[in-house]
Structure formats: structure tokens, C-alpha cells
């Protein structure tokens, strides 16, 4: 990198680092679980977004704002399933473990969301299997790692 400005190195790093390297565990619940249990799961796992599955396939996502909206509506949280309040497929933005961190970060910013599910790229036409997630926190962490030369 002797003749390159230092931002070129950051550019290469974000382009060459795969999602696989920075993804973390996705928290998944079934679409027939109650909103109340979803909120408890959110707190217990210290996460901001839950992914929703049906038969092991991704069907939706539920975030903090979705839960807040439902709670403000005043209905019984023990009687509403996640399937009712989630953002559903095909509107879920996702990534794969082979995509670059740069591509994933761009999707997060373009769609104004906090995280993306990482799906198995051998997933077939009848659905995607979630193998992890990548969030703004993971992406910030790789910048810290880079500064600390890890
Ligand atoms: P928060 O609600 O904590 O601010 P987000 O900004 O990620 O979290 O969520 C905003 C909205 O986008 C919510 O309605 C949520 O269901 C939806 N959402 C979250 N993740 C995704 C995703 N990967 N693809 C599509 N929609 C998503």
C-alpha cells in the first residue's frame, strides 16, 4: 500500500472481507409464537431483530419498532402471533456468507434497517434457510478490529 492513500486499504478490506467472517448467531422464532414471547426473547438475547421461520424457512423479520407499535396499539400481546406483525417475505433483504461486508453494509444503509439475515446459498426455490445475521454492530466491530490490527 506504499503509494496508495490509506482509504484504499479500507476499501479493499471491506470488499475482500466476506460476511461469513463477521456474521453472528441469528435468533429465530416460529411465526405462530406470541408477540409477548418475542419481546422476552429480544431481551434475553440482547438483540434488536428476530427472524421468523416456518418449517425451517425464512418467512419474516420483527424489529424493536414492530414490537413498540404493537404494544402501543394496546392489544393483548399474548394473543397476537409474530406472523401478524412481522415484515414478510418477499420484502426481507438478505445476504449470503460469500457476499462482501461492503455489499452487506450498502444494503443496510439503502434499506434503512439494522441487520440482514445471512441465508444458505444452497437454499432452493421453496425457501431460504437462515444461517446467521450481520448487523451494524458487527460492521462497526470490524472497523475496530482493523484499527487494532487484529
Ligand atoms: P428497529 O425497529 O429496531 O429500528 P430496523 O430499523 O431494522 O429496526 O427495522 C425497521 C423496519 O424494517 C421494521 O418494520 C422491520 O420489520 C423491518 N426490517 C428489519 N430487518 C429487515 C430486513 N432484513 N429486510 C426487510 N425489512 C426488515
- Give the ipTM: 0.97
Among 113, 115, 119, name the best residue to mutate to test ligand 1's pocket (greatest count of ligand atoms within 8 A of Cβ).
Answer: 113
What pLDDT digit, counting tens, does each position of 93-103 carry? 999 999 999 99
Q: Please report whether residue 137 resides in a domain.
A: yes
Closest ligand 1 atom to the C-alpha of 117? Answer: 23
Q: Please report whether residue 1 resides in a domain.
A: no
Q: What sign does the dihedral 91-37-23-125 (CA atoms) show?
A: negative
Asked if 49 contacts 67 with a C-beta cutoff of 8 angstroms, the reply is no
Q: Please report whether residue 61 resides in a domain.
A: yes
Q: Atom 4 of ligand 1 has which residue's CA nearest to it?
A: 65
The answer, yes or no, to whether residue 43 has pLDDT greater than 70, is yes
- State the Cα–Cα distance between residues 96 and 125, nearest whole angstrom: 15
What separation in Å is there between the alpha carbon of 62 and the centre of ligand 1?
A: 7
Ligand 1 within 6 A of 93 CB? yes
What separation in Å is there between the alpha carbon of 108 and the centre of ligand 1?
A: 10
What pLDDT digit, counting tens, does each position of 73-92 carry? 999 999 999 999 999 999 99
- State the Cα–Cα distance between residues 51 and 53, nearest whole angstrom: 7
Q: Please report whether residue 88 resides in a domain.
A: yes
Closest to 119 measured CA to CA, from 109, 107, 111, 44: 107
Closest ligand 1 atom to the C-alpha of 94? Answer: 23
- State the Cα–Cα distance between residues 135 and 117, nearest whole angstrom: 9
pTM to 2 decimal places: 0.92
What separation in Å is there between the alpha carbon of 17 and the centre of ligand 1?
A: 24
What residues make up the domain containing 140? 6-147
CATH number of the domain encompassing residue 64: 3.10.580.10
**Number of structural domains found in the chain:** 1
Q: Please report whether residue 37 resides in a domain.
A: yes
- State the Cα–Cα distance between residues 121 and 132, nearest whole angstrom: 12
Amino acid at each position: 500500500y506504499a503509494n496508495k492513500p490509506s482509504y484504499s486499504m479500507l476499501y479493499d478490506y471491506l470488499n475482500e472481507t466476506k460476511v461469513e467472517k463477521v456474521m453472528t448467531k441469528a435468533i429465530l422464532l416460529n411465526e405462530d409464537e406470541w408477540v409477548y414471547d418475542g419481546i422476552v426473547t429480544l431481551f434475553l438475547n440482547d438483540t434488536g431483530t428476530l427472524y421468523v421461520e416456518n418449517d425451517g424457512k425464512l418467512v419474516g423479520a420483527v424489529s424493536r419498532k414492530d414490537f413498540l407499535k404493537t404494544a402501543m396499539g394496546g392489544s393483548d400481546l399474548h394473543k397476537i402471533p409474530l406472523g401478524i406483525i412481522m415484515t414478510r417475505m418477499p420484502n426481507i433483504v438478505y445476504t449470503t456468507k460469500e457476499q462482501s461486508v461492503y455489499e452487506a453494509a450498502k444494503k443496510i444503509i439503502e434499506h434503512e434497517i439494522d441487520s440482514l439475515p445471512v441465508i444458505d446459498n444452497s437454499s432452493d426455490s421453496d425457501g431460504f434457510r437462515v444461517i446467521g445475521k450481520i448487523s451494524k454492530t458487527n460492521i462497526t466491530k470490524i472497523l475496530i478490529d482493523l484499527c487494532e490490527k487484529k
